[in-house]
Chains A and B, each alone.
Chain A
Amino acid sequence: MATWGLHAYRARDLTQHDWRTEAGGTVKPAPFEYHRPGSLAEALEVIGRYGDELKPLAGGQSLIPMLAMRLARPSHLMDLQRVAELRRVVREGNVLRVGAMVRHRDMERTAEVPSVVATAIPHIGHFQIRNRGTVGGSLAHMDPAAEWPALSLLLGCSVVAVSTRGSRRIPADDFAIGPLMTALEPDELMTELLVPLPEGGGGFAEVERRSGDFALVGAGCQDGTVVVFGAGPRPQRLAMTEQFIKAGGAPGPELENIAALEIVARGDIHASAEYRRRTGATLVNRVVRQSRTHVEGT
């Protein structure tokens, strides 16, 4: 987040000429044609027509700053707000089907959400961000430090991607490719996240510089699955650590060392790779312990 500041001021200087000119006020984003479909069928038709010239607009909490700084300059913008089909949360057996336009705030108020999800959501920005930001927008934006991509890997979720060509389910592991990169095709819309409801309790923890910031590094554990996020280019499952737990290994220095060995970490202005690896391993140890307490407690 902090790196955005610089871009913002530069973008403003560069565009001073035309951002003051439009009749009656300031405009920051480059011009685009605005579409507001009223149904899923209409939305698919519009995205099918314009493909990669178009960006879907969900809550706008990531896209609007990118438009305002002109880091994104789509010629078409499709506001999904009025597509009612994307706003539903439905439980079907052991799967929670979460519409792409369901907001973080709606999930905070949904009773069926798994406990790891309930623990993680308050870490997403601030309540004002959660009032607008959506599950689908978070997944499609694919910030490596965002909670939803990590949660979807942890719980074994799938993304439902739909186009006029048909519909497919993309497992979380295949969906997140890297920073701001997903498996969605330019004419595909994400319609739902399928969340298998876990049996027991899980564990979730992250380290952020200030409340509401993106995580420097975070970790989750659920039924023997262990995930770290914010360390590398995308959320990572820790296979060796999972193996250790499966073989009866308990939380402690040994588990922490195994996790540290396999965490893929990068350094940047916010934290070094070594910091992310060590802190990530400490968090892994903590969330494994949390998930066990839950299991024993039930």
Chain B
Amino acid sequence: MELTLNVNGREWRGDVPGRLILADLLRDRLHLTGTHLGCEQGVCGACTVLVDGEAVRSCLMLALQADGCSIRTVESLAPDGQLSRIQAAFLRHRALQCGFCTPGFLMSITELLDSGQRYNREELAEMLSGNVCRCTGYEPILDAVLECQD
């Protein structure tokens, strides 16, 4: 079936099967492998992307459900190789170790930062509970976000 998307500012058109999952489209066809797949059942958050500005699990969406939508993946954060503010804060605070969870965290955080709403540490921990990190213990991630809310 015909699918039209805007991915990271560029239009993409193609013919896709109904059963193609959005994450697999992004990774396999568009080669945007920054979007990671961990659990593939909605639990870990590694596959988080923005669909029309809202953070969603790309493993829990058919590609066709995103027809006509604007998608942002982690690749959109540093288009010219220049780290964005939140990416630089992650680096400074050592908010990543293996980095597997990082793209998902960054996209969830992007929705929160773009909303303009400010969260305290406790609220942020709650808001980011949908992203699992096995390395950092979360504290440095919260430090990085708190810094970027200023």
Contact = CB atoms under 8 A, between A and B. Distances in A.
B54 to A, nearest CB: 5
A125 B19 contact: no
Q: How large is the interface on B (under 10, 10 to 19, 20 to 34, 35 or more residues)?
A: 20 to 34
A273 interface: no
Contact of A128 (B27, B48, B65): B48
Given A25-B28, A68-B40, A128 B56 contact: yes
A196 B108 CA distance: 35
A181 to B, nearest CB: 22
Nearest to A27: B19
Interface stretch (B5-13, B81-89, B125-133, B136-144): B125-133
Interface string A1-31: 1001100100000000000001011111111
B45 interface: yes
Interface of A is mostly: loop
B19 A64 contact: no
Nearest to B30: A25
A28 B78 CA distance: 31
Contacts of B20: 22, 25, 27
B145 interface: no
A7 to B, nearest CB: 9
A259 interface: no
Given A61-B42, A132-B56, A212 B129 contact: yes
Interface in A159-176: none
A61 B28 CA distance: 22
Interface in A31-83: 31-34, 36, 57, 60-61, 64-65, 67-69, 77, 79, 81
B62 A64 contact: yes
Contacts of A127: 55, 108, 111, 127, 130
Contacts of A25: 20, 24-25, 27-29
B72 interface: no
A243 interface: no
B43 interface: yes
A129 B39 CA distance: 15
Contacts of A132: 56-57, 60-61
B65 A65 contact: no
Contacts of A27: 17, 19-21, 24
A8 B39 CA distance: 8
Given A25-B28, A212-B130, A131 B19 contact: no
Contacts of A77: 18
Given A32-B18, A34-B1, A129 B130 contact: yes
A211 interface: yes
A32 B19 CA distance: 7
A44 B18 CA distance: 20
Contact of B41 (A5, A26, A33, A210): A5
Interface of B: 1, 17-21, 24-25, 27-29, 39-43, 45, 48, 54-57, 59-62, 64-65, 108, 111, 126-127, 129-130
Given A4-B41, A65-B40, A68-B40, 11 more contacts: A1-B43, A4-B43, A25-B20, A26-B28, A28-B21, A64-B21, A65-B60, A68-B59, A105-B54, A129-B57, A210-B129
- Name the 5 nearest CB pairs between A and B, nearest first: A126-B130, A34-B18, A25-B28, A211-B129, A29-B19
20 contacts: A5-B39, A24-B28, A26-B21, A29-B21, A30-B19, A33-B18, A34-B62, A57-B65, A61-B42, A61-B60, A64-B21, A65-B42, A68-B41, A105-B54, A125-B130, A127-B130, A128-B48, A132-B56, A211-B126, A211-B129
